[in-house]
């Protein structure tokens, strides 16, 4: 988790996420004529996730309790100016999927929010985790081929 800064371009990665749920696309329907089926268009798709990894050391290696809180707070504060990518793996290779508008290289707009959540597990023990919701305005998975293989990014070589 490297620091997020509004004036510093580059890639930042969250921890590995758990419970990633890609919901079905939300669609609108419009009746265009009595003799044809309704026109359907995807308007959004939501991805929910959990971050269950606590981080107490900053990127400089200094002990920083709750560093992950600071990192996610920065993400929330900058959510309107970030472009979101997601890394998916099939076990043999890793690809960065770039959510794009259909038929375009332009990025897909999204809203992003995270917050703390809690779960009761056995013996009354309560576990804290960060819960996130990422809503794309369009479908980030609409047959856009994965465009970047992780092993071809020089800045990321050997990191993941």
Per-residue pLDDT of 83-142, as tens digits, reads 887 777 666 666 777 888 887 888 888 888 999 999 998 888 999 999 999 999 999 888
Burial of 96 (0-12, 13-18, 19+ CB in 10 A): middle
Q: Calculate the CA 72 to chain-centre distance.
A: 12
Return the percentage of the chain with pLDDT > 70, whole number: 79
Among 127, 128, 147, 144, residue whose Cα is nearest residue 136? 144
Residue 137, pLDDT score:
93
pLDDT band of 82, cuts 50, 70, 90 = confident
Residue 28, pLDDT score:
94
Q: Which residues pair with 46 in a beta bridge?
A: 135
Q: Does pLDDT of 31 surpass 70? A: yes
Q: Where are the beta strands (DSSP E) in the chain?
A: 18-22, 26-30, 39-51, 86-89, 94-97, 110-120, 126-136, 148-149
User: What residue ranges do the domains of the chain occupy?
Assistant: 18-155
Residue 157 tokens read as 């070589």
Whole-angstrom Cα distance, residue 55 to residue 66?
6
Beta-carbon contacts of residue 145 (< 8 Å; ≥ 6 apart): none
Residue 130, pLDDT score:
95
Q: Which residues pair with 44 in a beta bridge?
A: 26
């Amino acid at each position: 988790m490297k620091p997020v800064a509004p004036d510093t371009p580059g890639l930042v990665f969250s921890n590995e996420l758990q419970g990633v749920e890609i919901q079905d696309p939300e669609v609108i329907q419009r009746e265009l004529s009595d003799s044809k089926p309704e026109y359907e268009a995807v308007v959004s798709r939501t991805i929910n996730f959990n971050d269950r990894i606590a981080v107490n050391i900053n990127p400089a290696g200094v002990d920083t309790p709750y560093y992950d809180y600071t990192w996610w707070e920065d993400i929330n504060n900058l959510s309107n100016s970030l472009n979101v990518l997601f890394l998916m793996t099939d076990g043999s290779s890793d690809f960065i999927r770039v959510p794009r508008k259909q038929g375009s290289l332009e990025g897909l707009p999204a809203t992003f929010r995270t917050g703390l959540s809690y779960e009761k597990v056995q013996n009354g023990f309560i576990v804290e985790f960060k819960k996130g919701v990422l809503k794309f305005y369009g479908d980030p998975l609409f047959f856009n081929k994965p465009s970047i293989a992780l092993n071809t990014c020089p800045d990321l070589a050997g990191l993941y």
